[in-house]
Structure 1
Amino acid sequence: MKDYLVLISCICFLVFLIPGRFRKYFALGGWASIIGYLFFELPYYFSINNFMYPAIALLSVPFLYITAKYLLRDDPRVMQISTVAAVAFLIYAPFGYIPALGDWLIAAVAGQTSAALAAVGYPVTFEAWNLMERNGFQTEIILACTGIQSIAIMLGVAWGVQSTLKQKVAGFLLVFPTIYILNIVRNVFVITAYTEQWFPYLPEIAGNGEFGYESFFWAHNVMAELGALVFLVVLAYALFMIIPELGTLADSLYRLYRGEVEGIIRPTTAKSEL
């Protein structure tokens, strides 16, 4: 079911890009489907002790309510953020839904990660085309390990607003190589930390019953996730410098959602800043 929700979301956002009087409903269907996917994924996230995505799922409920409210009003701000999401799906879809293309990217990232690991003195062997082994610990490279989601999202941010061709090219040159290279660094860090057992701490929090999982948890679910979050904020700021319209959109969206949240929390005293 959850895989169908991602597909439905993708289709809805792509149809949203086609001009028409009903496009706002497709945007709403896209947001609702992707948020539904987050909730269907909760058992998996809890099984690997990943609490960032459950937190995102919880926060997505008021986001969906506010977004739906203003989509139905044809508000240009939520139409714009929906365009960002649609462009991101347009970039991600070929890799997510064409197996040959997705496998090609996985194989490329696996090979480059292996080469980088060997270069820093932690060589691995391949048990399968995308399965690495070192010190008895195996790590599988999947599509989520390629950085394509982050690349698609940030290119959606860069290309989902009105900008010049020069700005779009500059955005691509900033986003793609930066995220791709840093994702390889991230993979090297996580695999090394896991296979060398750098962080075997607090198994009651970080363990899942699998021997040595604690090091993977701290490296992947905590350090790499927080590092990626900080990096994406910095990258977004850099994009704002290249494409000033993004800063204007971000500020207007912040005011919109903050005003609505304040109105929910303090309905009798909050004043909208829309």
Structure 2
Amino acid sequence: MKEYLVLISCIAFLAFLIPNTRFRKYFAVVGWVSIVGFLFAELPYYFSINNFMYPTIALLSLPFLYVTLRALLREDSRVFQLSTIAAVAFLIYAPFAYVVPLGDWLIATVVGQTSWMLSSVGYPVSHVTWNIISRNGFQTEIILACTGIQSIAIMLGVAAGVKTTLRQKVLAFLLVFPTIYVLNILRNVFVVTAYTQQWFPYLPEIAGNGELGYESFFWAHNVLCELGALILLIAIAYGLFMIIPGLGAFADDLFRLYRNDLADLVGWKRESSSAR
């Protein structure tokens, strides 16, 4: 079911890119609803690995979805731009997600480069299978989410959110792709080393899942790297704003839209409570 939600969202956003159709806003509605549905469908998995960042994102997505759908139905240009960003991100991500040989090639490339980097710093590893790295009896599986392709797609989608010159397009690509890709390899190196060396065997009542040594993976992958990725994406977004000034104005307009609509929602609730 989860995979179908992603596929539906992908198809809907790609259909949204078709110009001059009266159904564009409804395609975007289906796309955003499917994304939020996927976030909630993934909750059991994230709870099983004690990852609380994505459940938090899922919870915060509800007011975001409320404002987005309302704005889409009244054909607000700012949310149409936001939907364009999502559509471009899917356009970049979809081939790797749904063309299995291409996705496997990217994973294998990242596995090889991660293993090479580990060896170059004096920490050689072995391979259980083509995408599972092993050392000291601990195994780390590299999947598509470990390649950085989602973050790359999102940030390139952001760069496509406003009209740009060729120079701006090239600079944005050079800022996003090499930075995220290289730092993602370093992230994998850190996670594999921290897990297989058991650097963080702390608070098993919070970080443990019953699997031997999982606590080190939890703190390295689910906490430190997630926070690091968030800071990185903020820094890259700032860099994009410097390269493409129009993105800053767009972000400010979008912030005002969501702030005002959410304030209206809270105000309505307060008035309703007073009436009762």
> Per-residue deviation at 1:267?
3.4
Letter in 2 for 1:218: W
> Per-residue deviation at 1:166?
1.4
2:124 equivalent in structure 1: 123
**Moved beyond 6 Å, runs of 4+:** none
Letter in 1 for 2:183: L
The verdict on how the C-alpha distance between 1:204 and 1:172 changes in structure 2, with shifts beyond 3 A counting, is same
2:73 equivalent in structure 1: 72
1:8 equivalent in structure 2: 8
2:239 equivalent in structure 1: 238
> Per-residue deviation at 1:160?
2.7
**2:85 and 2:169 mapped to 1: Cα distance?**
13
2:196 equivalent in structure 1: 195
Work out whether residues 202 and 216 of structure 2, in 8 Å CA contact, stay in contact via their aligned partners in 1: yes
> Per-residue deviation at 1:119?
1.1
Query: 2:250 aligned with 1:249, yes or no?
Result: yes
**1:120 and 1:216 mapped to 2: Cα distance?**
20
Gaps of 5+ in 2: 272-276
State the secondary structure of the residue aligned to 2:96.
helix
State the secondary structure of the residue aligned to 1:138.
strand
**1:50 and 1:161 mapped to 2: Cα distance?**
34
State the secondary structure of the residue aligned to 1:163.
coil
5 Å-filtered alignment, 1:125-274, equals: 125-267=126-268
Letter in 2 for 1:10: C
> What TM-score comes out, normalization by structure 2 length?
0.96
2:97 equivalent in structure 1: 96
Letter in 2 for 1:165: L
- Identity in percent: 73
> Per-residue deviation at 1:189?
0.5
> Per-residue deviation at 1:268?
8.3
State the secondary structure of the residue aligned to 1:59.
helix
> Per-residue deviation at 1:156?
0.3
The verdict on how the C-alpha distance between 1:218 and 1:268 changes in structure 2, with shifts beyond 3 A counting, is closer
**1:262 and 1:73 mapped to 2: Cα distance?**
18
> Per-residue deviation at 1:88?
0.2
Gaps of 5+ in 1: none
**2:122 and 2:207 mapped to 1: Cα distance?**
27
The verdict on how the C-alpha distance between 1:76 and 1:195 changes in structure 2, with shifts beyond 3 A counting, is same
State the secondary structure of the residue aligned to 1:121.
coil
Q: Report which stretch shifted further, 155-164 or 176-185.
A: 155-164
Query: 2:3 aligned with 1:28, yes or no?
Result: no
Work out whether residues 138 and 196 of structure 2, in 8 Å CA contact, stay in contact via their aligned partners in 1: yes
**1:164 and 1:30 mapped to 2: Cα distance?**
28
**2:135 and 2:269 mapped to 1: Cα distance?**
60
State the secondary structure of the residue aligned to 1:132.
strand
**1:119 and 1:249 mapped to 2: Cα distance?**
43
The verdict on how the C-alpha distance between 1:207 and 1:241 changes in structure 2, with shifts beyond 3 A counting, is same
Letter in 2 for 1:103: D
Letter in 2 for 1:123: P
Letter in 2 for 1:174: L
The verdict on how the C-alpha distance between 1:127 and 1:162 changes in structure 2, with shifts beyond 3 A counting, is same
State the secondary structure of the residue aligned to 2:134.
strand
> What TM-score comes out, normalization by structure 1 length?
0.97
**1:137 and 1:163 mapped to 2: Cα distance?**
47
Work out whether residues 161 and 247 of structure 2, in 8 Å CA contact, stay in contact via their aligned partners in 1: no
**1:85 and 1:154 mapped to 2: Cα distance?**
10
Letter in 2 for 1:168: K
Letter in 2 for 1:4: Y
Letter in 1 for 2:10: C
The size of the alignment, in residue pairs, is 270
2:274 equivalent in structure 1: none
**2:13 and 2:268 mapped to 1: Cα distance?**
32
State the secondary structure of the residue aligned to 2:209.
coil
> Per-residue deviation at 1:162?
1.2
**2:269 and 2:166 mapped to 1: Cα distance?**
46
Letter in 2 for 1:85: A
Query: 2:106 aligned with 1:105, yes or no?
Result: yes
> Per-residue deviation at 1:269?
8.8
Q: Report which stretch shifted further, 202-211 or 244-253.
A: 244-253
**1:246 and 1:136 mapped to 2: Cα distance?**
47
